[in-house]
Structure 1
Amino acid sequence: MSQNIIQPDTVFTVTNLTLLLRDVLESTFTNITLEGEISNYRPNSSGHLYFTLKDEGAQISAVMFRGKAMSLQFTPKDGMKVRCTGAISVYPPRGNYQIIISKMEIAGAGNILQLLEERKEKLAAEGLFDQSRKKHLPLFPKKVGIVTSPTGAALRDVLQITRRRNPGIDVIIFPALVQGDAAAQSIARQIMVANYFKMCDVLIVGRGGGSLEDLLPFSEEIVVRAIANSQIPVVSAVGHEIDWAISDYAADVRAPTPSAAAELVVPIQADIRKGVEDCKNELYAQIQQKVQNLKLMIKSFDVNNMEIRFRSIEQPLLLRLENAKESLRQNMNEKIKDTKNRIQQNLNILEGASPKTILARGYSMVRTSDGKIVRSHADVLKNEKIEIIPATGKISAIVESTENTNFWSK
């Protein structure tokens, strides 16, 4: 039923009118894009998102169901300006209409920069940008891969620079979408393909310049994680020198442009050849110098020179030997002399203590007839036979008397 066929005297019930309006709205606004500011944001525990879209003059209820909300690359907040795509729906029991959103993105550069900053902080907190993860670029790559649009100017620049600098290097193109909703998935998939099959030594991921929105795929989480997890060293080359993407932080090296990336990873063939030639010449010169030095050394080793050199080494050693022998002889003589003196002194002491020496001074030894030494008058009796032994000979005697007299005190 349309307005043209509604009779002026037609009486509607509330339900009939509401259903009529629902049919008109839902059949007319099936796929619209609506821009506004989020208000009264209410995420549901089931995963559905409920909020209000408003601008200066009006507002509309909005809902994004869980299946679509899972694909969001940002967290909606009150006050955030967004661009939503969806269909108008009418809920008859309440008599209101709303937009059921199938796609939502941030609108406006300011909010995009805020989103990128939040995402960068989140990924940095996970350690994806840590310096310890960075890999060195190969000095002499044989195969260079590039993930970019197969029809873009970036690819043409890389191919041209590679051919000019080193035509011996192969360039493997991993064609990918670099703009639009499917771009992030396409870029990440090609990075993973290059790694899975180990198809190149270094990988350039990038595109030419564009607006901030155009470069967003290179800041998507799926792309950043693919770069961070790549076993192949990655050079991020997105846009012009003033442009940036989060992929710059995850990559091993950031190049200001795709052309600059090609110059970073592709060494100039002529420079390589010159470097090899310089190394060869330097090595040859060093070998020649060493050979010349060896020849001079060998030349100096003839018979006469060898004898002179041997004598010059031998003479100081012989002199040291003679000095050592003389010193040893003198020390031994001194030791022998000291030993002889000590022996003589001990001999004199022993000889002085000998009984023969004592008897020779005029002393005699007295013994009884049974051989006992007489040391006291009490050791003998009157009329007892005794023997007196002087230094020579022996005297027999009979004791006439004994006295207890201290002879030495007189």
Structure 2
Amino acid sequence: MELQGPLSVSELTELIKTCLEGTFSEVTVEGEISNYRPSSTGHLYFTLKDAGAALQVVMFKNRLRALTFIPRDGQRVKARGSISVYPQRGTYQLVCEYLEEAGTGDILAMLEERKRRLAAEGLFDEARKKPIPRFPETVGVISSPTGAAVQDILNILRRRAAGIRVIIVPTPVQGSEAGPIIARRIEQANQWHLADVLIVGRGGGSLEDLLPFSEEVVVRAVANSEIPVISAVGHEIDWALSDFAADLRAPTPSAAAELVSANRQETLEMVRGYRRLLEDSIQGRLDRARLLIKPFAPENLELRFRAILQPRLVRFDDAKEGLLLGMKDRLTRARRKLELAVNTLESSSPLAILERGYAVVQDAESGAIIRRASEAAPGKLLQIRPMEGLFTARTETILAEGERDGNKKL
């Protein structure tokens, strides 16, 4: 590809970045680890090299879950990932997604196939697993008698539970002949009832070193053991198929020893803790019972009675006050109506009219009330009743309505 004109460093680097990252988006590289340096953030940095070249590699923290070994300088590995260009430094590196020891790919594939086949037979089912006795009297250790794993187990058992009897069943733990011997030792321990629990394991090593504990004969012996088995193979990141068949997996032989040797002081503290929990539980129940019966004490019953009665007394007082106020209001309204009626009656009374200066005029002979001047004839004797007393008069002149000057006479 020919490029016209000069390129800037950034432009050339971008072209290289596009070319490399697009071409090598997934690549597997085999080489020897050099300058291995884990960072404080959890990422791994190292160099892969061979006789002619070197390649910078980074493996980020979120990819370490699939790592089955601890990398070390001088170790030959296969790294799978993608090429990434770092423009600021003008360098490229491999971003590793998966890392395995060189030559272990076939072994892992074989182990995975064996694991699937044995799992299909039900050898790893949880229903097959037996509980581990908490206070065993005898512990059987099937391992190399000269290995560090046995010494760690003995030291922990002496420190935590010196009364436990330990029987070491010697066996090779590495090599092509180790697997059948380990299986035979497990069968012999069951045949002779050597222990209450068996620890089967060894210290750490490479995947090839741990292969005897993944052999089918060993896995079947562990699964068929009538004595509960703890598998303690390698370090925490190591694994073997015996881990899946065992009744319990311990991350290390030391952890297995701790699992079978309950510390007496810890047990005592646990019992004391249960005692406190029991006492607290009983005390809590008693307190709740007291709270339940407390409302039925005489003083509380009186208070409750008052609490029930008091609102009713208040309602009664309110009703009484309301009744009195209602009656008073009704009396007031009645009194006002009565006064109004009296006033009306008084204003309509003839006496009241007479009191204002009016008089009742009657015919002296017939007693008829004279309401119009035309009803009285001249010379007629009239009887006049003012407010008080009575007198008579005789009619002389009769004037029509509106005639007061006496010009018109009837």
User: Normalising TM by the smaller chain, what interval?
Assistant: 0.3 to 0.5
TM-score where L is the length of structure 1 = 0.43
